[in-house]
Structure 1
Amino acid sequence: MSWNKYNLYNLAQRTRYPDHGRKTIFQQLWYAKRETRAYHGASLSEKRWRKLFKSVLPAADTATATQKPGDHPHAAALMYGDLERRLEIFLHRALFADSVESARQMIRHGKVRVDDKTLRYPSYLLEPGQLVSVDPHAIAMLRGKEGTELSYHPKPYSQPFHFLPDYIEVNYRTCEAILLREPISRPGRVEVPSPIPPEVHGLAHEYYVRKWR
């Protein structure tokens, strides 16, 4: 999760996956696991990720009902839904940081407040309704001297990633954001942003179900 131009190029390439029909089922599952984990929560160990993994996914259009992964082809990405609540990832999704690594640095330097309390834990899991505020001078895309009006300068080539997920509300004038709810799936799409095709997420979910059942 970075707007570095080389990383953006690699992400664009990942949308064109080769045909793995000649590989064994395990090889296909492992490859899918590797690709999705490289993007979603790459800094987490498998041990920590296991505590967040959900073998049963939320159903389409609701975060309360459940379904099997095959019932809705786009829903498999919801296994990474809880990671979207991590403070470091939330800041990146809210467009306050050009990468998760940058967001992590902002948090550890005390530039981020949650419900008016400074937090230095990038792994903190936000609850719906919590208010996150960021020191404007810590946002790399905002430029200007202290006491003057800041101007926004987006990273080159990052325009395709300049969108706000439906589960986040942001006030860019005050540099504040709120997690409205957890991501859900909708007909034909899922709210968890990912450059990886749905079928690859499905294989990755099956890998973990088989591994940890």
Structure 2
Amino acid sequence: MTKRTSAKYKIDRRMGENIWGRPKSPVNRREYGPGQHGQRRKGKLSDFGLQLRAKQKLKGHYGDLTEKQFRRIFAEAERIRGDTGELLIGLLERRLDAVVYRAKFVPTIFAARQFVNHGHVLVNGKRVNIPSYRVKEGDVIEVREKSKQLASVLEASQLPERDVPDYLEVDHSKMVATFVRTPGLADVPYAVQMEPNLVIEFYAQN
């Protein structure tokens, strides 16, 4: 078990929000942060604190990406002409592990990363084992034939707390998804409010 996988509940508690909308999240029971000082009264966050939390929340949602990975994606969004916040969300949603998670082939974003790493996923008929692989519009993502009967796969497709977003077309009987279009912020079914505008402010000042 990776350190990041085992820490997923800590991420929720650190943010004080159930960022994946999971019914088992400890935030549903305890609103204070992790650790011995977690129960101290929360003070009002400064502008920097709000910006930092917005970044950590977005970064955490995608499997707690490393700062280096996240910064690189942000720099790319900044280089492209258009709304940087919307472009950032689009680039994050085009990661193969994010698509596998959104398609409900696996129960969590952490499981999606491991699932791709272990070679269970095909893109346009070819095996891809890089979670950060960037899918394109029209790409067909499917679970390998040998992996379709895995308990975690069968369980994930039945999860009631998540819906498949409309920028994916998914056939769970065949475990095949088509990436129809790159989404914007309003298209992505986040369980909590994401604020990419604050992420832009954070990097502009740091």
Relative to the length of structure 2, the TM-score reads 0.69
Deviation at 1:77, TM superposition (A): 5.8
Deviations 1:130-155 (A, max 9, x none): 11110311361527xxxxxxxx8734
Deviations 1:161-194 (A, max 9, x none): 2x11121111122111111111135xxxx11222
User: Is the 1:77–1:192 contact (alpha carbons within 8 Å) kept by the matching residues of 2?
Assistant: no
How many pairs are equivalent?
173
Aligned to 1:174: 174
| Aligned-partner SS, 1:177 | strand
Aligned to 1:28: 50
1:57-206 matches, within 5 Å, as 66-67=82-83, 76=85, 79-135=88-144, 136-138=148-150, 140-142=152-154, 154-155=158-159, 159-161=160-162, 163-184=163-184, 190-198=186-194, 200-206=195-201
Structure 2 gaps, min length 5: 1-18, 32-41
Deviation at 1:96, TM superposition (A): 0.7
The root-mean-square deviation of aligned C-alpha atoms, in Å, is 3.2
Q: Cα 1:2–1:35, aligned 2, differ >3 Å: closer, same or farther?
A: closer
The range that moved more, 117-126 or 104-113, is 104-113
The amino acid of 1:208's aligned partner reads Y
Within 1, Cα distance between the matches of 2:191 and 2:87?
14
Q: Cα 1:12–1:128, aligned 2, differ >3 Å: closer, same or farther?
A: farther
Within 2, Cα distance between the matches of 1:11 and 1:86?
29
Higher share in helix: 2
Aligned to 1:62: none
Deviation at 1:116, TM superposition (A): 0.8
Q: Cα 1:180–1:13, aligned 2, differ >3 Å: closer, same or farther?
A: farther
Higher RCO (Cα < 8 Å, 6 or more apart) = 1
Relative to the length of structure 1, the TM-score reads 0.67
| Aligned-partner SS, 1:154 | coil
Q: Percent identity among equivalent residues?
A: 27
Deviation at 1:22, TM superposition (A): 4.3
